[in-house]
Structure 1
Amino acid sequence: MISKIKIHLADDHQVLIDGLTNLLQTVSNFEVVGNSLDGTTVYEEVVQNNADILILDISMPKKDGIETLKEFHEKKTPCKVIILSSYDDLKIIKEVMKLGAKGYLTKKCAGENIIEAIDAVYQGQEYFCDDVREKIFNSFTQNNPKLPANQYNENQLLSPREIEIITLIALEYSGKEISEQLFISTNTVETHRKNIMKKLHTKNTIGLVKYALKNNLINP
């Protein structure tokens, strides 16, 4: 029997919770185990239901999503959090990622991406919808004149996240600097680096730099 992914939904709009519940119930290995309309009960309910994934809104009454996320972060709760919010402000995105959120989607793209996001995060990956990913990427292209903006979507061999990683490697960012820039752990950076090298059939960083130059990921 396939183990189901247990999901808790936290949002102050019942209609959104109902809509997401109906959508997620169409996936055979998903199980919505609970929901919250304000932030005060989220932590207790997630722990009680042993949820694997929490879909969390930022704007919540009584206790907002950021304060709720801080509680999960401080208590090192194993449940993985995906932010689902109307906000796409870069400052908020950076803050929640530093607090351990594994994904961020805006509500306008949730319908087409939420299932993919849950699968990815459950498997230990990070997930950002296209709008959020582009906002993060553009936040450092503005400070790196060697980096052409909006190039990462043009390559099909590597994923958008892998394009970001290889670009920063080619710009001589260290693993720690990459982790801080993209709000991921150094272990995740190293995993991505190994996967990229395997895909490109290269044995060292020089090969990655050559690939980045050849595919216009950075300017010489």
Structure 2
Amino acid sequence: MNAVNPTYKSILVIDDHKMVANGIKLIAGRLFETFYMAHDGASGMSQALRNFPDLIIVDFHLPDMPGDLLVRQLKEKLSSAKILAYSFSYSPDIIIKMLKAGIDGYVIKREDDEEFVNAIHLLMQGRDYFCKEARTHIVNRFSTATDDFAIKHIIGNVKFSGKELELIRLLCKQVTTKEISHYLNLSERTIEQYRSNIMRKVNAKTLAGIIKFAIQNGVIMVDEL
């Protein structure tokens, strides 16, 4: 992939550190036809409403508002945009706040460039991506919490086939569609159909919803993730 043949249409980076935004442009800019950046929440929202980017990368710490508030506003106005949280923070509270706000993925800035680019590809393919540390905090929260956030997607007495249960376990471990296809001896198209059916059955809109269902119902154990 190169700048001559970008893979995706447009990206907006909202980060108050200009060096970080420029670094993202160097790492991932070649994947997009158009690259936008903003350095606070207000200008980020303005850019988003003006340009309707396909992917928005948001830091939690912004000079004029917290990242989770901005994500809620972005999701309300641009529901089809994918949002990746990219932050130095690995605080469980911040990760959960961003998850509640509606992010599609979370990557900590200390992760390597390869993982960051992989997260972008997965989000642009309609999937979720949470780095290992973020995923651990999410799992720990869901496995112990009793509030509505932890149980709102739980549906009792749902029937699954053996393949569906195995697929849920693999999805929770963030195994790729290609790898699942090989493991279950099914086409990638069939895997995606299974995934859609599972999300409908458990009333989940993201991978986080599937993880919540799986843990709360004993389909997978925390120490398996």
**Residues 115 and 5 of structure 1: is their aligned pair in 2 closer, same or farther, counting only changes over 3 Å?**
farther
1-structure distance, mates of 2:55, 2:206 = 24
1-structure distance, mates of 2:122, 2:207 = 17
Shift of 1:131: 1.3
| Structure 1 contact 84–110 (Cα < 8 Å) conserved | no
Segments of structure 1 that go 5 or more residues without pairing to the other structure are: 144-156, 163-173, 194-207
| Structure 1 contact 33–49 (Cα < 8 Å) conserved | no
Q: TM-score, normalised by structure 1?
A: 0.63
Corresponding residue for residue 99 of structure 1: 101
| Structure 2 contact 75–81 (Cα < 8 Å) conserved | no
Whether 1:175 and 2:202 are equivalent positions in the alignment is: yes
Corresponding residue for residue 12 of structure 1: 16
Corresponding residue for residue 61 of structure 1: 63
Deviations 1:132-190 (A, max 9, x none): 112222334567xxxxxxxxxxxxx935146xxxxxxxxxxx825xx499643xxxx4x
Shift of 1:110: 5.2
Deviations 1:25-64 (A, max 9, x none): 3x4x424521011111111202322210001000001123
- Give the secondary-structure state (helix, strand or coil) at the position aligned to 2:126: coil
| Structure 1 contact 21–32 (Cα < 8 Å) conserved | no
Whether 1:22 and 2:19 are equivalent positions in the alignment is: no
Question: RMSD of aligned C-alpha atoms?
Answer: 3.5
Counterpart code for 2:51: N
Shift of 1:13: 0.6
Counterpart code for 2:15: D
- Give the secondary-structure state (helix, strand or coil) at the position aligned to 2:61: coil
- Give the secondary-structure state (helix, strand or coil) at the position aligned to 1:109: coil
Q: How many residues align?
A: 167
- 2:170 pairs, out of 148, 151, 158, with 158
Counterpart code for 1:24: A
| Structure 2 contact 69–101 (Cα < 8 Å) conserved | no
Deviations 1:100-152 (A, max 9, x none): 11001111115232211111111111101111112222334567xxxxxxxxx
2-structure distance, mates of 1:180, 1:94 = 16
Counterpart code for 2:93: K
Corresponding residue for residue 50 of structure 2: 48
Corresponding residue for residue 136 of structure 1: 138
- 1:82 pairs, out of 50, 66, 84, with 84
Counterpart code for 2:12: H
- Give the secondary-structure state (helix, strand or coil) at the position aligned to 2:170: coil
Counterpart code for 1:77: S
